[in-house]
A and B are shown apart, each in its own frame.
Chain A
Amino acid sequence: MNRKEIEEKVKEFLIEEMEIDEDKIAPDAKLKDDMGIDSLDFVDIVVIVERNFGFKIKPEEMAGVITLSDFCDYIESKVG
């Protein structure tokens, strides 16, 4: 899976499943502060990522993930 496909898939589930407004979604947008994703959302994001990308997020690996771009980097490191 290439970077573009990862970004498209992430954007799709943020809009469709997490119900985040499309205009809030940008590479440098912060997951928590700009998009309003909280710890409860992350409980569901773990499930959605496993379903879409076939791996389980480890919370300790998410420590440096702040922006959407960071998040896509992390997924790319697992499936790219």
Chain B
Amino acid sequence: MNKRVVITGMGIWSCLGTDLETVKTSLYEGKSGIGLQPERLAYGYRSGLTGIVETPVITKQMLDRHTRAGMSEEAQYAYMASRQAFTQAGIDEAYLLQNEVGCIFGNDSSAKPVIEASKIMDEKHDSAMLGYGLIFQSMNSTVNMNLSTIFHLRGINFTISAACASGSHSIGMGYMLIKQGLQEMILCGGAQETNYYSMASFDALNAFSIRMNEPTKASRPFDRDRDGLIPSGGAAALLLEDYDHAVARGAHILAEVTGYGFSSNGCGISQPSDGGCIIAMQRAMNDAGVTPDDIHYINAHATSTLQGDMYEAIALTRLFEGKRAWISSTKSMTGHECWMAGASEVVYSVIMMQNNFVAPNINFENPDEYSAKLNIAKSRIDTNVDIVLSNSFGFGGTNSALVFKNYKE
């Protein structure tokens, strides 16, 4: 028999704040976390815009030197977010030492340590000059290998690399493993580095907004006058748990994950597809046993690029035209949190559920012909949010959709 899967802890480290309360206020007030980083322009970027994410301070009292030496920037973000998630879920070190907990995180790059190692090798031509930590920072699994050792995690342990759908698929995978009774508790999430080494090749595609005179207005998903996305990052962590296990230990349940849908476009590497989006969304709703009429809020993937927004708008129109579901892209405030986005957007949506509001799609001033048919929240909507659909789509045509619902005793 399938198990029910609930969320019992969340953590966030993003440009909207580094704790749930601050992020709630940012979402509620429609506050942008985007800024201009002039060093990007000096480095050679076309756009200097980015999400401004606070650097975590991890002291030697928190983690020893060996551990810290192996932590990439995104692993540091993920560590800070995971601490919050475990604390909220009431899981302490004693529990982790005595029980099997899994870890599935989304991450799809770790550019900075790779480039730093390359610079040292070019200069010294001697691998002995690289030191101890760079290998553990360099691999895509850097987040998983750090979190699993720091928190003594002994269950499922692997990384999802699925471009900008990585964080969403990580929750989908965790949900499936718990649903099947294979794990009782899994730390899921997504992490994204924000250093300027990491996004130069993305900037090369002319995909980033250059509205540098108005950073907080630059990310405008679905708006007619958008000119590209803004890279951003940080980390989001969610503790997924078997419902019966959560109840037995007296955990406070935040939300229930009820559906996961996926698909692959099977066409161009940077080409979105309305058909692929629809399959993922429909599959997630089928899994959850809901129809488009039941959805209260859709956290859209929309990144503020012409092509991506257009194909998602076409897909959303096909499924949701005339329905009640409010739609917003929180990327209007965060920018595109890439590998982290699918996880952070679940955190943002659960915050909305708990506080009865739909966060605004800021900077949505004029629709284009595709977004005009959508029920987009231009400003905050104070309303019950009980069933949410969250979309994530990535390069290579990977699509993920999650359905989760408010938990009521």
Tell me how far the C-beta of A26 lies from the nearest C-beta in chain B, rounded to whole angstroms: 20
For B131, list chain A residues within 8 Å (CB): 43-44, 46-47
A40 proximal to B (CB < 8 A):
yes
For A41, list chain B residues within 8 Å (CB): 66, 132
B69 proximal to A (CB < 8 A):
yes
Which of B65, B126, B128, B129 is A19 in contact with, Cβ under 8 Å? B65
Q: Which of A13-27 contact B (CB under 8 A)?
A: 18-19
In the complex, the number of residue pairs spanning A and B with C-beta atoms less than 8 Å apart equals 25
For A46, list chain B residues within 8 Å (CB): 128-129, 131
The distance in angstroms between the C-alpha atoms of A50 and B65, with both chains bound, is 20
For B129, list chain A residues within 8 Å (CB): 46-47, 50
For B126, list chain A residues within 8 Å (CB): 56
B60 proximal to A (CB < 8 A):
yes
By beta carbon, the residue of chain B nearest A58 is: B128
Category for how many chain B residues contact A:
10 to 19
Contact B128 A56 (CB under 8 A): yes
For B377, list chain A residues within 8 Å (CB): none
B130 proximal to A (CB < 8 A):
yes
For B66, list chain A residues within 8 Å (CB): 40-41
Q: Which of B175-206 contact A (CB under 8 A)?
A: none
- Contact mask for chain B residues 106-147; partner A; CB cutoff 8 A; 1 contact, 0 none: 000000000000000000001011111100000000000000
The distance in angstroms between the C-alpha atoms of A18 and B65, with both chains bound, is 7
The distance in angstroms between the C-alpha atoms of A47 and B133, with both chains bound, is 12
Contact B132 A44 (CB under 8 A): yes
For B64, list chain A residues within 8 Å (CB): 19
- Contact mask for chain B residues 61-81; partner A; CB cutoff 8 A; 1 contact, 0 none: 000111001000000000000
Contact A19 B132 (CB under 8 A): no
Contact A40 B60 (CB under 8 A): no
Tell me how far the C-beta of B64 lies from the nearest C-beta in chain A, rounded to whole angstroms: 8
The distance in angstroms between the C-alpha atoms of A18 and B128, with both chains bound, is 17
Tell me how far the C-beta of A62 lies from the nearest C-beta in chain B, rounded to whole angstroms: 13
Q: Which of A54-75 contact B (CB under 8 A)?
A: 56
Chain A positions within 8 Å of B, measured between CB atoms, are 18-19, 40-41, 43-44, 46-47, 50, 56
15 contacts between A and B (CB under 8 A): A18-B65, A40-B66, A41-B66, A41-B132, A43-B131, A44-B69, A44-B132, A44-B133, A46-B128, A46-B129, A46-B131, A47-B129, A47-B130, A50-B129, A56-B126
Chain B positions within 8 Å of A, measured between CB atoms, are 60, 64-66, 69, 126, 128-133
